[in-house]
Structure 1
Amino acid sequence: MALLPLILGAVTTLVFVYSLLYFLLRPGKPLPPGPKPWPLVGNLIHLGPVPHHSIAKLAREYGPLMHLKLGFVNVVVAASASVAAQFLKVHDANFSSRPPNSGAKHVAYNYHDLVFAPYGARWRMLRKITSLHLFSGKAMEDFREIRQEEVKLMTRAISSAGREPVRIGQLLSVCVTNALGRVAIGRRVFGDGSGKEDAKAEEFKSMVQELMVLAGVFNMGDFVPALAWLDLQGVEAKMKKLHKRFDAFLSAIVEEHKVAGSEERHIDLLTTLISLMDGAGDEEGGKLTETEIKALLLNMFTAGTDTTSSTVEWAIAELIRHPDILSRVRDELDTVVGRDRLVSELDLPGLTYLQAVIRENFRLHPSTPLSLPRIAAERCEINGYHIPKGTTLLVNVWAIARDPDVWSEPLVFRPERFLPGGEKDGVDVKGGDYELIPFGAGRRICAGMSLGIRMVHLLTSTLVHAFDWELAEGQTAEKLNMDEAYGLTLQRAAPLLVHPRPRLQPHVYNA
């Protein structure tokens, strides 16, 4: 009996201490509003087949700052420009890393790439290398002729298509991949530019598209770790298999460079990367590893090609659907460029209406509709709501660019809004205007943004200037399928099939 008072006293003390700690440590603010989660799976059930659509619909009910519980993971969604600015500008440092995910682990060399690497010295080293050798102003100018040559080869291939319809997306993918290949590894990756069917190119594009689909899946194992070993959706098994295919492709490229040596080729990016394996390395991040080199190449040959080709494919589809806008773009091109040569990158600054068309296309068809996720390093407060440490952030870029409170007629393709004097005159896509952030914003903004913008402008203007387009298989512009496919990037559900008709002087296509 003498022990009973001691036990009661101990229990009372523990309850008091627990209550005190809870009072002192509990967040003073509530979580953002959101739909009620289901047991175990949380709000995963609410995501639907096209998550950026479903999340946008939920945000209209619960507000532009919304909380979801995906399995056991806290997720916050930014669905307005002002909320996005809070996360990506005011609290950018706190949201500068990526959350754990199976794609980064099983495909992107276990977080050794630039896209998914944790924020820190190694990430800064990788970012510095790519910024200096691939995306700097000097590098962009040095490689301008290469980009234009590859676009010229694509134009020649399209002009020789005859009566057969062409798959614009596949041709664009080959062009962009070869342009990147010549800069990154010193040679084309696919084909000789003859326009003949290239099985390897088709296989590579299918690999990239498979990667983007798998990367867009909300994998149960990422949100309910206890179930990860079961791989209920089969996602991890597919990722591992796909990684082996990519690794074989990239390893062959690296080994070829090692054998050839820099004396037999111009100094390309891969030669520079290999030299950093043996040299002093970056003063902050240290030496590069072969795994990091392959991971960087993976980033370039996947994110760098798929996003550009799909964006241009959407742009051509929109112009076909809007012949009045297409006619105005062509009039501008004929005035600035004429009909006896192809568009040059030097022409682009003078193509004001084309620039407006591209911005409008980026608005309606952002290449990554749900930005790549970030994670809160520490707890914080946004707009009066508590954001716990370890919370995943998703920015619904697609929904922000269709916000009726910010954009008049948000579902209408209307480039005039971006022209001088238009209501969105001066709004750009480079991360400073949060109502239009197709490349993201803040520290983790897309490293290849400058190249992507330039390639989209050059490719779109060339296709519009050099060809008239007729839809294949009896399609009409009014009923052209504009549905979106599921995936990390915004692909068309139905590839764009068109019959091209050259509209420039004949010698232009054979120059």
Structure 2
Amino acid sequence: MPSPTLAIFLVIVGTLCSIILIRRASQSHNKHVQKLPPGPWPLPVIGSLHMLTTLPHRGLQKLAKKYGPIMSLRLGNVLTVVVSSPEAAELFLKTNDSVFASRPKLQATEYMWYGTKGMAFKAYGSYWRSVRKLCTLHLLSSSKIVSFAELRKEDIRSMMEGLKRAAVAREVVDISKLVGEVIANISCRIILGKVRNDIDGLTGLVGEALALGGAVNIADYVPYLAQFDLQGYTRRMKRVSVNMNKMLEKIIIEHEQEAILLLNEQEEEHGMHKGFVDVLLSLMNQPMNPQDEKFHIIDRTDIKAILLDMISASFDTSATAIEWTLSELLRNPRVMETLQGELESVIGMDQMVEEKDIGMLEYLDLVVKESFRLHPVGPLLIPHESMQDITIKGYHIPKKSRIIVNTWAIGRDPKVWSEDVEEFYPERFVGSNNIDMKGRDFRLLPFGSGRRGCPGMQLGLVNVQLVLAQMLHCFNWELPYGTNAEDLDMLEKFGLSMGRANHLLSKPTYRLLF
């Protein structure tokens, strides 16, 4: 909602902006009138920004109930199309994927993601294709993910030992903090080659960047107001950018120095794992994709941007998914008992879960799907942008329109999931093997779909499923004294990823026989 200060500025610039909008409307009318998707009537200057609320996915869901699954809003100067049904999502992310494969420019990505030189926020084109290919080949391929198994095992075992000590002492555990740490450790070892002593600082910067990246920033929609920084976001983004650049520069310098020390020696002799950052540094000053006639030479800024993409994507998303799943299991003891029964039957009570066991845990797969349905990590997929004019379902979608897919609304639509849509009921997925979270069934899109679908999906799922399986197999969990399951706080914190507003606390009891 606009603040009083913002309202004053809106009045000051309202006349000027209205004149500009009228002139644009007149020019558009002179071509010929096109039918836009239905939507609310916009206010001068701000359009429908005031309708988004502090949790935009919920505000947009309410509007979609009135205006339909393909809805248009004038957000400041930006025509935004909101997609809120599986059928509509398929039209935008599959049928017409080539038209909507680009990204809009946002102030957050310009400041904090090195002018979109990474992958997640880059406009569609040869550079984006080259970065995606590079990341997939050297970090996100199936063979690479399998090769990281021992690293995951070490960090998860360390977490289990800490939990055993907490169980003996009958301590309440901050699950949000614990899970965040183990995922950050795993990600650091894979991407940076080792766990860092300053990981808390890096995690804090990533959290701030994701929060700012998902914020409704007036400057993105009414550029004339950007200079006033009415919400204070620009100052915060600049501060994060400076501190993040220092952190990434420090990481790169350390690895450059280590590379010199290890020249002509075997990393294994030093107990070190070669991380993704080392691969990127070995490619510096070389063509990113020599086969592309517009090939780009990898420089230091590219490396920082790519690292930031990989770090921010891996740190928060898996931890958030685990956090929400455990929250729902604590609220639904029947589901937890069923899942632990499967673990006891498949794994046995005399050993821990191994990564090779995950494929045999069918009920775990159902639980994770149900958690993603109710609590998608990204409730609104990263915005797409149309690269040309197009007509969909009789509606005109102009070039440069911003496209928002509300996966949160799709997951809670009773027309899609039946009337018990608010209930955590994993069995709804029984017999629905085609809903595999890979973006091929548009009822469930936790990783997006099409060209801009998340290339780290497989790595993310392995982390989520393995940590959950291990925590639930090794321990029983109960809420702290005085907290009832039905009263457990489930408030959300909106950003590029949507975590819990408050940390999840629980008390473990060791349940294995060794």
Q: Same fold (TM over 0.5)?
A: yes
Q: Which of 144, 147, 151 pairs up with 1:146?
A: 151
What residue in structure 2 maps to residue 114 of structure 1?
119
Counterpart amino acid of residue 241 in structure 1: R
Which stretch shifts more, 472-481 or 104-113? 472-481
- Distance in 1 (alpha carbons) for counterparts of 2:161 and 2:123: 43
- Distance in 2 (alpha carbons) for counterparts of 1:65 and 1:407: 19
- What is the deviation of 1:94? 1.1
Report whether the alignment pairs 1:260 with 2:253: no
What residue in structure 2 maps to residue 411 of structure 1?
422
Report whether the alignment pairs 1:239 with 2:247: no
What residue in structure 1 maps to residue 21 of structure 2?
none
Q: Which of 426, 436, 449 pairs up with 1:441?
A: 449
* Matched ranges for 1:108-507 at <5 A: 108-161=113-166, 162-190=169-197, 200-261=198-259, 263=263, 265=267, 266-283=273-290, 284=292, 285-408=295-418, 409-420=420-431, 424-472=432-480, 474-506=482-514
Q: Does the 8 Å CA contact 1:352/1:419 hold for their aligned counterparts? A: no
- Distance in 1 (alpha carbons) for counterparts of 2:408 and 2:466: 24
Which stretch shifts more, 162-171 or 352-361? 162-171
- Distance in 1 (alpha carbons) for counterparts of 2:296 and 2:281: 13
- What is the deviation of 1:472? 2.3
What residue in structure 2 maps to residue 94 of structure 1?
99
- What is the deviation of 1:23? 7.9
Counterpart amino acid of residue 396 in structure 2: H
- Secondary structure in 1 matching 2:495: coil
- What is the deviation of 1:155? 1.2
Counterpart amino acid of residue 454 in structure 1: V
Q: Does the 8 Å CA contact 1:214/1:239 hold for their aligned counterparts? A: yes
- What is the deviation of 1:84? 0.6
Unpaired stretches in structure 1, ≥5 consecutive residues? 1-20, 191-199, 507-511
Which stretch shifts more, 318-327 or 172-181? 172-181
- Distance in 2 (alpha carbons) for counterparts of 1:40 and 1:185: 45
Larger Rg: 1
Unpaired stretches in structure 2, ≥5 consecutive residues? 1-26, 268-272
Q: Does the 8 Å CA contact 1:353/1:419 hold for their aligned counterparts? A: no
- What is the deviation of 1:112? 0.8
- Distance in 2 (alpha carbons) for counterparts of 1:288 and 1:203: 27
What residue in structure 1 maps to residue 41 of structure 2?
36
TM-score by length of 2: 0.89
- Distance in 1 (alpha carbons) for counterparts of 2:28 and 2:425: 54
Give the fraction of aligned pairs with identical amino acids, expressed as a percent: 39
Counterpart amino acid of residue 185 in structure 1: L
- Distance in 1 (alpha carbons) for counterparts of 2:238 and 2:173: 33
- Distance in 2 (alpha carbons) for counterparts of 1:281 and 1:394: 30
- Secondary structure in 1 matching 2:71: strand
TM-score by length of 1: 0.90
Q: How many residues align?
A: 475
* CA deviation string 1:191-220 (max 9, x = no partner): xxxxxxxxx444443333222221121111
- What is the deviation of 1:85? 0.6
- What is the deviation of 1:245? 1.8
Change (3 A) 1:160 1:67: same
What residue in structure 2 maps to residue 509 of structure 1?
none
Change (3 A) 1:505 1:218: same
- What is the deviation of 1:164? 3.1
What residue in structure 2 maps to residue 14 of structure 1?
none
- What is the deviation of 1:498? 1.2
Counterpart amino acid of residue 205 in structure 1: T
* CA deviation string 1:453-495 (max 9, x = no partner): 1111111111111111121252111211112122221111221
- Distance in 1 (alpha carbons) for counterparts of 2:177 and 2:309: 19
Change (3 A) 1:122 1:22: closer
Counterpart amino acid of residue 357 in structure 1: V
Q: Does the 8 Å CA contact 2:285/2:299 hold for their aligned counterparts? A: no
Change (3 A) 1:328 1:110: same
Q: Does the 8 Å CA contact 1:374/1:394 hold for their aligned counterparts? A: yes
Q: Does the 8 Å CA contact 2:381/2:407 hold for their aligned counterparts? A: yes
- Secondary structure in 2 matching 1:110: coil
* CA deviation string 1:393-452 (max 9, x = no partner): 0000100111111112211111111123xxx34312101001100111110111211111
- What is the deviation of 1:147? 1.2
- Secondary structure in 2 matching 1:95: coil
- What is the deviation of 1:232? 0.6
- Distance in 1 (alpha carbons) for counterparts of 2:388 and 2:121: 19
Change (3 A) 1:440 1:281: closer
- Distance in 2 (alpha carbons) for counterparts of 1:306 and 1:455: 12
Q: Does the 8 Å CA contact 1:177/1:189 hold for their aligned counterparts? A: no
